[in-house]
Amino acid sequence: MRAATKQDKILVERIIAESFKDNPNVNYMLRPIAPKEKTIKRLADYAFDFAFKRNSLFISSDGKGLIVCCQEPIQMDWQDYLNLGKLIISALNIRQLGNILNRNAYINSIRPHDEKAIYIWCLALQDNGKTNRTAVEIKNFIFEKAKAAQAPIYVETALWKNKIAYERFGFKTYHYWESASFRLKTWFLKKNASPFVLTEANYMQ
């Protein structure tokens, strides 16, 4: 794993766009009349700027996966709010803005605000990078980071298959949320720091 540089922006945009193109919790936020590739690229661009300025973006050695992991709590400044405003205008579904803001507020209210905790803000793999080696490298990185800091890891996912994968490696679901009107589901998971390290043999995609 290596820290991202400014030269990685196009690569990061490509990985995030490909990884989240079928994620229901992402798609409902995007402007429906605009080309999906265009709006999700703008979302990926916002994610890069947000993570890069916090030194929280790391890329796998094969360039096919990434993780954004931040220490809580995250403080936003005027530049963050400006970038968020640009994202809302250019990519988000304005009609759903109230629901988007309410959902984010709800998630923030559920997520424990532990100053030592490590929060996985984004974990993304390209379709052709969903191999044992890439996934194991990313997961070993975050597990070792948590072990060194003696901090728990928190993550949310909208996909059942991701929930199962996280739980296989020690994460516990501590909360579940579902929106009947939008058919959105979110699992909130936590893993305490431990010496467990993944290998290609015990990884199951």
Residue pLDDT, tens place only, 20-73:
877 777 777 777 766 667 888 888 888 899 899 889 999 999 999 999 998 766
Buried/exposed 123-133: b ≥16 CB within 10 Å, e otherwise: bbbbeebebee
Would you call 44 exposed, middle or buried from its count of C-beta atoms within 10 A (0-12, 13-18, 19+)?
buried
Radius of gyration of the chain (CA): 16
Q: What's the average model confidence in pLDDT over 182-202?
A: 68
How far apart are alpha carbons 1 and 66 in whole angstroms? Answer: 9
pLDDT bracket for residue 202 (50, 70, 90): very low
pTM for the model stands at: 0.81
If 0-12 CB within 10 Å is exposed, 13-18 middle and 19+ buried, where does residue 186 land?
buried
Average pLDDT over residues 79-87: 85
- Residues 2-191, CATH architecture: 3-Layer(aba) Sandwich (3.40)
- Rounded CA-CA distance 118/99 in Å is 27
Judged against a pLDDT cut of 80, whether residue 196 lies above it is answered with no
Q: Which two tokens stand for residue 178?
A: 């579902």
What is the Cα–Cα distance from 128 to 48, expressed in whole angstroms? 21
Question: In the structure, what pLDDT confidence band is assigned to residue 205 with cuts at 50, 70 and 90?
Answer: very low
pLDDT, tens only, 94-152: 777 777 777 778 888 888 776 688 999 889 888 654 567 888 899 899 999 998 888 89
Q: Which residues pair with 90 in a beta bridge?
A: none
pLDDT at 172: 93
Return the pLDDT at 200.
43
| pLDDT value of position 181 | 66
Question: What was the pLDDT predicted at 204?
Answer: 37
